Amino acid sequence: MSAIELAVQGSGRKPAPARMTGAQALVECLKAEGVEYIFGIPGGAVLPLYDALYGSELRTVLCRHEQGAAHMADGYARATGRPGVVLATSGPGATNLVTGLATAYMDSIPLVAITGNVSRALIGRDAFQEADITGITLPITKHNFLVRSAKELPWAIKAAFHIATTGRPGPVLIDIPKDVGTEEFNFTYPETVDLPGYKPTYKGHIRQILEAARAIMNAKRPLLYVGGGAISSGAHQEVRALAEKCDLPVTMTLMGLGAFPGDHPQSLGMLGMHGTAYANYAVQNCDVLIAVGARFDDRVTGNLKTFAPKVEQIIHIDIDPAEIGKNVVAHVPIVGDCRAVLQVLLEKVKEKRHPEWWQQIDEWRREYPLQYRKVEGAIHPQAVCEAIYEVTNGEAIITTDVGQHQMWAAQYYKVKYPRHFISSGGLGTMGFGFPAGVGAKLARPDREVFVVSGDGSFQMNIQELATAADLNVGVKVVILNNLYLGMVRQWQEFFYGRRYADSYLGTPDFVTIAKGYGVKGILVTKPEEVKPALEEARAHDGPVVIDVRVEPEENCFPMVPAGGSNSEMLGPKGWME
Amino acid sequence: MQASNLREHTLSVLVENRPGVLSRVASLFSRRGFNIESIVVGTTEDRRYSRMTIVVIGDEAEVEQVSKQLHKVIDVIKVSELSAQEMVERELALIKVAADRSNRSEILQIVDIFRASVIDVSDRSLVIEVTGDTDKVKAMVDLLRPFGIKELVRTGRVAMTRGPRGVTAEPERQRGGLQAVSG
């Protein structure tokens, strides 16, 4: 029997310690956690770790930039709900993770980042490739560890996975000095860790749930406002059941898309700055607002003083007590896991119908539909998003970058399932979409994955084309190429007197770039070419980049100007009623 | 935010005795834009834990948010706000005062009145140690100021609840009577 088998958790019998190095122990820990992929790049300080991984059954994905690796792990996590694992070397390798960690932290994504550091004796001496990565990542991780000896390592790994995946999920970083990787010790993997300061609350308080049920029963104009927490807790079925039982209109945040089917008649789509007009009107007119795993972000609420002015009761369900009361006062605060709380709440509410409220909402839907001005011969980016929906029948996983294309994808691709819309919501990280798409496709080879990107965003992690080509990961990248940093240009048009300071990019030849990486590229310049190109990409075995030359100065509507009230929206025909 | 709602709040925070805990807590305050009036860290009856006594100024909502955010720090075990009626608090100050033969006895009278003590004497200075609540320390400092304060060092406030109950790691229900303080 190998030392490794001895260390695996047995059925009740205490595993015998096995002599091994810290690096070998790390491999055993990751196997015990069921890790499938490790995204990363080797370097000096992680040579012992990579050496132990070499030949192990764990699959490493060689990325071309650590930021790309972090986003891939993130995409993997968002597509599955399982923690993504990223590995980087000390110094610049570690600091390159920063944006990826901050992205995951803002969106509450379970990530375990492992960094090498210089040997213990060199720490604090400004050694070559030394960075205080635990200090640097303090405010952008849920927790982090500097492992000071090999015998601390198994505990730290166990704790990291536990913290990353439970409660409100988030990224955890483990910094391992090089000589901890080579230090020999007696390895056992703990079955549990006891963290006295970390006891997330899962069960909601029954009195509060009853209070919520009463409010929902008494509501005349209720609205269900669903965020990413509903997806991370796996509450999509409960959300749907509650909405259908009580006839609730449902609006979702960007992070919440897919928590309720976008093609369901009760879906109002996304709310907020670029939400649908009818969702925003519903918010401004509702009397009971039921927030499920959402945090009243400024992009959702607009001006807080004028947010939901007619609301009598806000029910706020969230696993993080610090979110409750942070931005708005909740009349019925419920701390707990969204799914667990909704399960109880469902039993406490009765069937109810709101014909008058729906009549009003349907009127808004008729009067203010999602729409865009159509110009003959031009490719409208919104139409491309609609086309992706049509050719995939809405079954694909969509990842996006950040900007106009992200909002169009959110508006025009009616996400049907949870974990099928992957986007950097909180941090708004350009360069996220493509690597996240690679991670999502590796996680879900059974699903089609389309990356909706922009010409600006795609170039922020374009080097990962090499990674996609290496592994022949079948992600289909659709660049809505408008030659601009489109959202920046839109703001400059509206709020800076059309002074387009540095928002014009021009464009490189993306097809040639793709070819250079060994990836298929397709250029689309006419509206009638859009669908055939999408079909060609779908049929191709492997990654594809489609460069779609869209209308350069298309704007994203509706739009609530930053800090404005949700009922004051700009539409394609000017200010809405 | 109404300025009138602003007041001092004393938080007793029990944390794991691990490297980096102080920076985690301090970084939280700066990151969230909360102001620390004073912060004192020391070991407790149980060497696995340290205790921080943090005085913050804010309104109720702000302090509630501070407490909740502190709670999210993994190494933070317990956060309790101590109300003014239910706690005792003290701080210690060392005051170096310019003193020569002409005024030394006058200063010593003040020291006497405040039940402070002189812990160093030279021909041109005295070092005075005073313990008490913030008002007392302030009053003493004000009285000594005319003589010329050369240096002032204050510890910041430490606080503890009155009565048998304490802020400890054990869950409420298991805790009873004096066990809490005996550790």
| SS3 per residue for A46-57 | HHHHHHHHCCCC
Report the b/e string of A229-267 with b at 16+ CB within 10 A: bbbbbebbebbbbbbeebebbbbbbbbbbbbbbbeeebb
Name every residue whose Cβ is closer than 8 Å to that of residue A198 and which is 6 or more positions away in sequence.
A163, A167, B74
CB contact, 8 Å: A10 with chain B?
Answer: no
For A322, which of B20, B72, B74 is closest by C-beta distance? B72
pLDDT at A10 over 50: no
Residue A38 near residue A30, CB atoms below 8 Å: yes
Look at the domain B3-82 and name its fold. Answer: Alpha-Beta Plaits (3.30.70)
**Domains in chain A, ordered, with CATH?**
3-187 (3.40.50.970), 206-367 (3.40.50.1220), 381-557 (3.40.50.970)
Tell me whether the CATH fold assigned to B3-82 matches the one assigned to B88-158.
yes
Q: Does A481 touch chain B (CB under 8 A)?
A: no
Rounded distance between C-alpha atoms, residue A133 and residue A156, angstroms? 16
A66, A238, A551, A554: the catalytic one is A66
Cis peptide before A169 (omega within 30 of 0): no
Q: Among residues A214, A257, A210, A254, which one has the least CA distance to residue A236?
A: A257
Please report how many Cα atoms fall inside a 13 Å half-sphere around the Cα of residue A374, on the Cβ side. Answer: 7
Interface residues of B toward A, Cβ cutoff 8 Å, are 15-16, 19-20, 23-24, 27-28, 31, 61, 64-65, 68-69, 71-78, 169
Cβ-defined contact of B24 to A134 (cutoff 8 Å): no
Cβ neighbours of A320 in B, within 8 Å = 72
CA neighbor of A364 nearest in space, from A480, A516, A249: A249
Identity of the residue in A139, A197, A325 whose CB atom sits nearest the CB atom of B76: A197
Do A101 and A77 contact (CB within 8 A), yes or no? no
Residues in chain A: 577
Strands (E) in chain B, as ranges, are 7-16, 36-43, 49-58, 76-82, 87-98, 117-121, 125-132, 149-154, 158-161
pLDDT over 60 at A550, yes or no = yes
pLDDT of res. B4:
61
Question: What pLDDT does A13 receive?
Answer: 55
Q: What angle do CA A413, A417, A422 make, to 5 degrees?
A: 65
Domain boundaries, chain B: 3-82, 88-158
User: Considering only CB atoms, which chain B residues are within 8 Å of A142?
Assistant: 74
Distance of alpha carbon B173 from the chain centroid: 28
pTM for the whole structure: 0.93
Q: What would the pLDDT profile of A347-382 be if each residue is shown by its tens digit?
A: 999 999 999 999 999 999 999 999 999 999 999 999
State the residue for tokens 């490790």: A38
**What local confidence, expressed as pLDDT, does residue B171 receive?**
58
- Tens of pLDDT along chain B (183 residues) come to 445 688 999 999 999 999 899 999 999 998 888 889 999 999 999 999 999 999 999 999 989 999 999 999 999 999 999 988 889 999 999 999 999 999 999 999 999 999 999 999 999 999 999 999 999 999 999 999 999 999 999 999 999 999 988 888 765 443 333 333 322
Q: What is the pLDDT of residues A451-465, one digit of tens each?
A: 999 999 999 999 999
Specify the pLDDT at position B66.
Answer: 93
Q: pLDDT tier at A222 (50, 70, 90 boundaries)? A: very high
List, for residues A45-103, the tens digit of each pLDDT value: 999 999 999 989 999 999 999 999 999 999 999 999 999 999 999 999 999 999 999 99
- Most confident segment among A13-17, A411-415, A560-564: A411-415
Average of pLDDT values for A410-431? 98
- Work out whether strand A37-40 and strand A222-226 pair parallel, antiparallel, or are unpaired: unpaired
Mean pLDDT of A19-36: 97
Closest CA to A251 of A219, A294, A298: A294
pLDDT of A290-306, one tens digit each? 999 999 999 999 999 99
Closest to A86 in 3D by CA, of A137, A37, A148: A37
Q: Give every CB contact of residue A12 below 8 A, 6+ residues apart in sequence.
A: none
The mean per-residue pLDDT over the stretch A177-198 comes to 96
Residue from the list A138, A320, A322 with its beta carbon closest to the beta carbon of B24: A138
Chain A residues whose beta carbon lies within 8 Å of the beta carbon of residue B16: 196-197
- Contact flag A197-B64 (C-beta cutoff 8 Å): no
Separation in Å, CA of B73 to nearest CA in chain A = 8
Decide if B71 and A322 are in contact by the 8 Å CB cutoff.
yes
Instruction: Give yes or no for a contact between A567 and A284, defined as CB atoms under 8 angstroms apart.
Output: yes
Among B129, B172, B18, B65, smallest CA distance to A323 is for B65
Quick one: tokens of A21?
């190095």
How close, in Å, is residue A144 to chain B by CA atoms?
A: 9
- pLDDT for the residue numbered A577: 63
pLDDT average, residue stretch A146-151: 97
Mean pLDDT of A425-450: 98
B-chain CB neighbours of A330 within 8 Å are none
Yes or no, beta carbons of B74 and A195 under 8 Å apart? yes
Q: Does the B88-158 domain belong in CATH 3.30.930.10?
A: no
> Per residue in A32-71, is it b (16+ CB within 10 Å) or e — as a string?
bbebebbbbbbbebbbbbbbbbeeeebebbebbbbbbbbb
Task: Flag whether pLDDT at A487 surpasses 90.
Answer: yes
Token pair of A403 as six digits:
């900007």
